[in-house]
Amino acid sequence: MKRRIVHNFVITFVTVFLLLGFGALNNCQPTSGTVFAKEQAVKGIKLHITGKHTRKFTVVTNSAGKATVSGRIQGDKRVFFKQYKGGYKKFSVRANKKGHFKKVIKLQKAVNKVAYAIDSNKVNKLIKKHPRKYVSKTIVHLTIKRSSASQASQKAASQASSSAKAASIASSKASSEAAESSSRAAAISSSQAAARAAASSSAAAAQAAAQRSASQAASQRNAQANQAAANNTGEQEYVDANGNGLIKGSVDHIYHVPGSTYYNRTKNVVQWFKTVSDAVKAGYRAPLR
């Protein structure tokens, strides 16, 4: 009888312990530090691009390479633009009292397509500060393509620039040849005059010979100096083992020489140059810092 009582007591105790333990487990809640907050959309904010009812669309520029983006925002005063293709620009546009906004975007030279993510500035800041708590439901993806007319205009301008450069080279070459011809004619005339002077008087011939020798020496020195100047412009060249230029020309028309602050960060290289003067002639400028 005692054994049965003890046995029943043990079973009862184990049953109560399991029930209490199971209830404790069910009531146990993880602390806020052990779970991630569920992503939620920011309420009260709406973004709409005029004439577009989708979240992803494309516009085409005019002949000048410009595209106008307009729309309306509710719940915020600013619209944030972040470029993720064709460059890395970031900027915000302020809406008027009724929430309307407009932005004219111009494509840089040598770039035919860019892409922007457009969002509420307030939403963008919240997501940046709390990436695990908020998610954007207002973001719009915009692609801007250069129109065929703009591409033709850009190509014509490039061809005109190339033609002007070729004409300048031809003009310089013609001037050089004319100067060389004039120099040869002058040398021949001087030689003939010296010969006539030598026939009339040996003293005059000696003097003419001395003048001729001095003139030739000066001409030789000038030729050597000109050749040295042509061979050494005094400007450093940045080239690799194959003679290719190492100066980077970015989409923002800024050049970066090897070893400079932003050289290794510049990935979107539009054009390569051997010298700084080549980059400047092509319309590129040095970085501000």
* 38-70 pLDDT tens trace: 567 778 888 888 776 678 878 888 988 898 999
pTM for the whole structure = 0.42
Q: Report which of residues 85 and 21 the model is more confident about.
A: 85
- Whether 17 has a pLDDT exceeding 70, the answer reads no
DSSP secondary structure of 257-284:
-TTSTTTTT---EEEEESSHHHHHHTT-
Residue 36 pLDDT: 42
Q: Which of 170-174, 182-186, 239-243 has the lowest mean pLDDT?
A: 170-174
- Answer for the pair 74, 255: CB distance below 8 angstroms, yes or no: no
Q: Report which of residues 160 and 181 the model is more confident about.
A: 181
Q: DSSP strand E in 98-164: where?
A: 100-106, 113-120, 134-135, 140-145
Average pLDDT over all residues of the chain: 77
Q: What share of the chain is helix, strand, coil (3-state, %, to 5)?
A: 45, 25, 30
- Which secondary structure element, helix H or strand E, spans residue 4, and what is its range? helix 2-27
pLDDT digits (tens, 9 = 90+) for 86-139: 889 999 999 999 999 999 999 887 788 999 999 999 998 988 999 888 888 888
- Whether 16 has a pLDDT exceeding 50, the answer reads no
Angle separating helix axes 202-231 and 148-200, nearest 10 degrees: 160
Nearest Cα to Cα of residue 209 among 228, 225, 191, 234: 191
- Which secondary structure element, helix H or strand E, spans residue 146, and what is its range? none
Q: CA 8 to CA 89: how far, in whole Å?
A: 78
Using the Cα atoms of residue 14, residue 16, residue 19 and residue 20 in order, give the sign of their dihedral: negative
Pick 40-151's CATH classification: 3.30.70.20, 2.60.40.10, 1.10.580.10, 3.10.20.740.
Answer: 2.60.40.10
Residue 30 pLDDT: 37
239 Cβ contact partners less than 8 Å away, ≥ 6 residues apart:
245, 246, 274
**3-state SS class at 212:** helix
The bridge status of strand 56-60 relative to strand 140-145 is parallel
Residues of the chain above pLDDT 70, percent: 70
Give me the residue spans of the domains in the chain: 40-151, 187-232, 237-289
- Answer for the pair 151, 157: CB distance below 8 angstroms, yes or no: no
Residue 200 pLDDT: 66
Residue 267's pLDDT band, with cuts at 50, 70 and 90, is confident
Nearest Cα to Cα of residue 79 among 125, 32, 18: 125
